[in-house]
Structure 1
Amino acid sequence: MLLRRELGRTEASSGESVSEPAAHGSNVNGLDEDETLDMVIVGAGFAGIWLLNRLRQRGFKAKIVEAGSDLGGIWYWNRYPGARVDSQYPVYALSIPEVYDDWTWSSHYPDHNELREYFRFVDERLHIKKDCVFNAKVTDAIWDDAQCVWSIRCDSGQTFRTKFWTACTGFAAKRYFPDWPGYEDFKGTMFHSSFWPKEGVDVKGKRVAVIGTGATGVQITQEWCREIGDNGHLEMFQRTPNLACPMNQVYMTKEEQKKLSKGLPERFADRNKHYNGFLYQWRENLTYDHSPEEREEFYRMLWKLGGFRFLMNNYYDMTRNATANQEAYNFWRDRVRERVKDPRKGELLAPTERPHLFGGKRLSLEQDFYDQFNKPNVDVVDVRTNPIDRFVSDGIVRKDGTHHKLDMIALATGFDSITGGLKDMSVSGIDGEQMSEKWRLGTWTYLGISTARFPNFFFTYGPQAPTAFSNGPSCIEIQGDWIADVLSDMRDKKLRKIDADPQAEAEWKELVNDLIKDTPRGSVDSWYNGSKPREHLNYAGGIPRYKKTLEEVRANDYDGFHMS
C-alpha cells in the first residue's frame, strides 16, 4: 500500500482511511449561517486550545476548525514508531491550572500515545471540543475590507464569517515528498511518517528502509531496529548525519509528581526567562576559560544530564565561536564512536571531520540509536555521495546502480517547514492580494505574528517568531495572550481593523536576519531556513526578548500597526 503524494486528506491508495472519520465536534454548534464569529482558529493543537481558552475567558465567541478528527494538532497525526516529546518535563505542557493540577506524566519525555491521552484530559477539563469543527481543512480565507470580515471556507463545504482569524497550524503542517521517480512503482508498503496508520506496522522479519535522519528518522530507526528481529534487515538512508544527543529518559511515579506540582506555576513562569523557553540556557563562562581537563569534566556532566543540555546549556561561546564549537563536536564525536564498533558505520554516523557547525541543524535526542548499528542486520547507507536515483517494484536503486531490495519503506523526509502550512491555504487580503504571491520571493511578517495588507489575521508558531528555536508551548502562550489582548483592546476602543505597516515588516525582517547571522543556525543550510526561497525564518532573539517586544508594541498603542 503506497500513500498518495497529495498533501490534503490522508488517504491510502487502496482507499483505506489512515484516520477514521469522526463527527464534527460541534456541528457548528447551532451557529447560524449569517452569524459572525469574533475569531476562527485553524488548528486544534497546543496553540489553538490555548487561544480558544483565553478568548472564552474574555467573552469572545470563537471556534476551532481542525482538519483531523480529534484534538492534538501534530500529536493527532504523529503515530510513527518512537514518536515522543524532546522537551523535558515539565515545560512541554499548557500552563493552565485546571489541567496541570491533576494531570501526571509517566516520564520526562512522554510518547505520542500519552500526548493523545493528555489532550483527552485537556478536553475533560476545558470542554474544548464543544467549540470545534473537525474533519474540515481550511482551503480559502477571503477578506472583505468594507465589512471588516473574513470568510473562511473549508473542504467540507462549510463557510465561517469572522472578524478575526488565527492560523495555529504550526511549523510542520505540510508534508514534504522529494521528487524521486518511481514512487508508484514500488509494490511493497510505504508510509510518510505523518501518515502512519493507527494500527501500527509489523516489520518483524522484513527488509525495511528509513529514508531521512532528522529527529523523526532517528526515532523510527531506533524503534524498528528493536522490532525487526534477527531475521529482518534495516537500512537507514542518510544524507547528513544527525548529531543526536542522549535523552537519558527519566520515569516518574504519580507520587513523585504530586510533590512537584505545587512548584509548577513558578516553573511555567520561568520558561519565559530563558532563551529557548526551557528551564535552562547557556552558561556565562567561555570554552577556553577551562583547562582541557575541566572542559572534559564539564562536557561529561552535561552529557549525563541528557536532553538538549549539551546544546543549550553549554559554554556561552559554543554556538558563537567556530573553534569553541569544534571542541564540543570533538567530544560528541568521540562519545558516539565509543559506542559504534564498526569503523565504516562510525565514520558515517559521527564523521572525523565536523559535517557542519554543531547545533546548526536540529539535532535529535536518542536512547539507543547508535548502539543499534552494532547489529549485523542494521546498516547506514550513504546517499550524499551516492544518492537515490529511483524507486522500483521491489526497492530502491541508487545512482551507481546499487539495488536495495525492500519490503517496507518509511519516508522520514519531513515537511515544507515554517511557511508550508500557511501557503497551503489560499489567503486573499486587501484588493484580493494573495499571501502566497506576496511571499513567493520571501516571507514578510511583523512580529512573526501578522503580515501587512491582511488585516485581522494572525498566526502562531510560524515564520519570523521564535518557533523552531523554542519550546512550543512557551512560544504559543506568549503569542496567544498577545492576540487575546489585541481583541480586548480593540473591543474597548470600538475598533474594527488592525493591519501591519509594510515599513514595520521590513524592519522586522532586517532584525530577524541580523540576530541569526553570526550563529551556527544562520550559516548552515537546513529546514530552519525554509525551502523555496531559502531565507531565515526563525527569530533568534530568544523568548524573553520576544515577549518584551510584544509587550512594548502593545504599550505603545500598537506601534507598527494601523488601527481603525
Structure 2
Amino acid sequence: MGSVGEKNYDAIIVGAGFSGLYLLHELRKAGFTVKLIEAGSGPGGIWHLNRYPGARVDTEVPQYSYSDPATWSTWHWKQRFPDRDELVTYFEHVVAVWDLKPHIVWNTRVTAAHWNESENLWKIEVNGDQYDNYICKFFCPCTGFAAKSYTPPFPGLDTFKGRVYHSGHWPVGEVNLAGQRVAVIGTGATGVQAIQEIGRVASHLTVVMRTPNTAIPMKNTPIDGPRNSYFKEQLPEWKKKQATTFAGFTYDFRPGKIMDLPKEKRREIYEELFNTGGLHFWLGTFNDVLANREANEESYQYWREQVLKRIKNPEKARILAPEKQIDPFGTKRISLEQNFFETLDQDNVDIIYTRESPIKQFVPTGIETEDGTVHEFDVLVLATGFDFVTGGLTQIDIRGIGNQTVKDKFAKGVYTNLGMTIHGFPNMFFMYGPQAPTAFVTGPVSAEAQGKWIVDCITHITKNNYKSINATEEAEQEWRAHVNEGAEQGLFKEAHSWYFGDNIPGKPREALNYMAGMPLYKQKCQEAVDAGYKGFELVK
C-alpha cells in the first residue's frame, strides 16, 4: 500500500521528455506549484528507455535541443547525431540547469487520472495504488507518441525457447549477443539501427521484413570544440529559423517545383541533398516530391540507384530496392542509416520477406514460414514499434465528465481541439500527441510551441478565476476535419503507415498527426486565443 493521503498541486505533469521538462520549467517560472511524475529512473522520456543496440536520434544537433541559452551555453555536443547515452546526459544537464530535480518523482507510473466534477479537480493515482494520490487543478500528460510498445499476435510466440527482447523494453545493462544467432523482426527506424549493430557481432542474423526501408545516409560525424563554439555563435538565429519552418529544422522545403527544372539541374540537387546526409533528401527538397507522382518516382529511382551500388547479392537487391515502389517515397517515416545495406548484404544475414514468405508460426527453435522452412535462432529482437501517438494516453485510465475514458472516446476515431485538449476532459492539456504536428516536427520545437500555449492558457484561467476550461464538441469536429483535410494533400494517405494507425489491427484509419506544418499549426492555436479562446467553454 502506498502512503495514505493526498498531495495537492496546481498541475501534475506525466513524463520527463522534451515536453514534460519544458512544461515543468515554464509553469514553475509562472509561479505555479507543479510536480512531474516519471515512470523511469531518470529524464529523457523515450531516450531514457531506448537502450537497444544502436539507439540514436535522427535529428542533427543543435537543432535537437532547447532554445534557452542556459541549456546550451555550457553544453558541448560530441556527435552530429547523438546516441542514446549522449542524449540522456543532455537531459540530465537540462534538469540540473533548470533546477528541476526537486520537482520530479522518479520510478512512479501514473495509472489513473479521474476528473472530480463537483470539485473541478483531477485525482491522479500512481502505481495502481488507490491510496497513493495526487490532486491537481490541471492535468498534463506528456507521454509522447511512442509510450506504448506493440507486439503483433504472432502464433506460437510463447513457445519460443530462446531469449526475447522488445526494443522498447530493452534491459538495463549489457545484453551479450556476440556469437549468437539473432532474429530481428521489423525494419523501421529502430530495426535499422539495431540491425546495424547486431550484424557486427552475431554469428548469424535473420531479418524479418514486411516492407523494404527507403533509409537514407545519416553521415554522422564527430563535433569538436571549434564546431561547438560555432554552434553557440549561430544558435540564436538558428532557433529563430526553426520556429518558422515546416518541421522545425533550420532548413525547409525549397520554393517552386523540382519538375519545373531541367533534368540535369534536378540530378545536381538530388546529389547535393543525398550527400549532405540527415533528413535533407526528404525535408529539404521540393514540395512536389511528396505530392506529385512523377517527382516522387524520380526521387525514388535516384535513391534506388544509390542503394543498388551497395548491395552485391542480386536477390537481396531485388527485395531491398525493388524497381516498383511499394509506398510512395517519403510517405512513411524516413530512417537514417550508416551501414544498413552493407549489413543486410553480409553472407551471414538472411532476410525473411514476409510479402513472399509469410510467418506461419513460432516454434521452440525459431520461426516457421508458410513454405515449411524453419529459421532457427537463439535470440529474438522485436523491433515491432508502438501504438503510436494515441497509445500513451489510452494506456492510462483517464476519466473525464460522466466517467468517460479517453480510450473509449478514441475508440472510433480521434477527436481533440488543437491537438492539446479533449472535450469532456476539462483542465487537461496533453503534448506531443494526436492531431498535433508531433511526428512531423522536431521534439523541442513542438515542446516549446505547445508548452508556451498551455502555460499562457493556464495563466489566463487562473488570473480570471475560472474553475475550468473544456473544449467544445463543435471545435473538435472542426479540428478533426482540418487535420484530415491536411492529410489528404499529397501522397501520404497512399502509404500503409503508422502515421494513419495502420500498424495496429482494428485501429481506425485516420490522420494521427497534423500534417499541414508547424507555422500553420501555431497560427491556428493563436487564432483561438485571439478570439477569446474560441472553441472552449470557460466556467467561472
| Superposition TM-score tier, normalisation by shorter sequence | over 0.9
For 2:61 and 2:407, the matched residues in 1 are separated by 37
Map of 1:372 onto structure 2: 343
Matched-pair contact (CA < 8 Å) for 1:135–1:156: no
Does residue 190 (structure 1) correspond to residue 189 (structure 2)? The answer is no
Moved more, 461-470 or 262-271: 262-271
What is the 5 A alignment of 1:66-85? 66-85=38-57
Is the counterpart of residue 218 in structure 1 residue 192 in structure 2? yes
For 2:500 and 2:109, how far apart are their aligned partners in 1?
Answer: 26
User: 1:559 pairs with 530, 534, 539, which one?
Assistant: 534
Look up the equivalent residue of 2:80 and give its one-letter code.
H
Aligned to 1:125: 97
Q: Post-superposition shift, 1:336?
A: 0.4
Aligned-residue offset at 1:175:
0.5
Match for residue 523 of structure 2? 548
Whether contact under 8 Å (1:167, 1:458) holds in the other structure is yes
Task: State the identity %.
Answer: 42
Query: How far apart in 2 are the matches of 1:347 and 1:117?
Result: 41
Per-residue CA distance 1:369-402 (angstroms, 9 max, x = gap)? 1112332112222112221122111111112211
Distance apart, 1:436 and its partner CA = 1.3
- In 2, Cα distance between equivalents of 1:354 and 1:449: 36
Aligned to 1:18: none
Alpha-carbon distance in structure 1 between the residues aligned to 2:466 and 2:188: 46
One-letter code aligned to 1:440: A
> CA 1:249/1:221 → structure 2, altered by over 3 Å: closer, same or farther?
same
Give the letter aligned to residue 319 of structure 2: L
Aligned amino acid, residue 524 of structure 1: A
Displacement, 1:266?
2.0
Give the corresponding residue for 1:475.
446
Measure the CA separation in 1 of the matches of 2:101 and 2:393: 23
**Alpha carbons of structure 1 residues 210 and 34: separation in structure 2 relative to 1, 3 Å:** closer
Residue matched to 1:457: 428
Residue type of the alignment partner of 2:418: L
| Aligned-partner Cα distance in 2 for 1:33–1:474 | 38
- 2:314 aligned partner: 343
* More deviation, 263-272/419-428: 263-272
Matches within 5 A, 1:381-396: 381-396=352-367
Q: Which moved more, 1:284-293 or 1:35-44?
A: 284-293
Task: State the aligned residue count.
Answer: 532
Cα distance in 2 between the residues matched to 1:56 and 1:219: 37
Structure 2 equivalent of residue 21 of structure 1: none
- The one of 147, 153, 173 equivalent to 1:199 is 173
SS in 2 for 1:458: coil
Question: What is the CA distance between 1:191 and its match in structure 2?
Answer: 0.3
In the alignment, the residues of structure 2 paired with residue 153 and residue 78 of structure 1 have an alpha-carbon distance, to the nearest angstrom, of 26
Give the distance between the partners of 2:6 and 2:347, measured in 1 at CA.
65
One-letter code aligned to 1:116: V
Structure 2 CA distance for aligned equivalents of residues 105 and 42 of structure 1 = 28
Structure 1: tracts of 5 or more residues without a match: 1-26
Q: Following TM superposition, by how much is the alpha carbon of 1:35 offset from its aligned partner in structure 2, in angstroms?
A: 4.8
Are the equivalent residues in 1 in contact too, given 2:422–2:476 (CA < 8 A)?
Answer: yes
State whether structure 2 residue 220 is matched by structure 1 residue 246: no
Distance, in Å, in 2 between the alignment partners of 1:381 and 1:390 is: 13
Q: What are the superposed Cα offsets for residues 504-524 of structure 1, whole Å, 9 maximum, x if unpaired?
A: 000000001111112222221
1:263 counterpart SS class: helix
User: 1:212·1:238 contact (CA, 8 Å) conserved in 2?
Assistant: yes
Q: Is the 8 A contact 2:111 2:128 kept in 1?
A: no
The alignment status of 1:95 with 2:70, answered yes or no, reads no
Corresponding letter in the other structure for 1:95: S
How far 1:34 sits from its partner (Å)? 4.5
C-alpha displacement of 1:247: 0.5
TM-score, length-scaled by structure 2: 0.96
Task: Report the TM-score when normalising by structure 1.
Answer: 0.92
In structure 2, what is the equivalent of residue 305 of structure 1? 276
Per-residue deviation, 1:285: 2.8
Q: Within 1, Cα distance between the matches of 2:441 and 2:474?
A: 27
Counterparts of 1:136-535 in structure 2, within 5 Å, are 136-155=108-127, 157=129, 158-228=132-202, 232-530=203-501, 531=504, 532-535=507-510
Distance 2:72 2:115 in 1: 38
The structural deviation recorded for 1:291 is 2.1
Residue type of the partner of 2:218? M
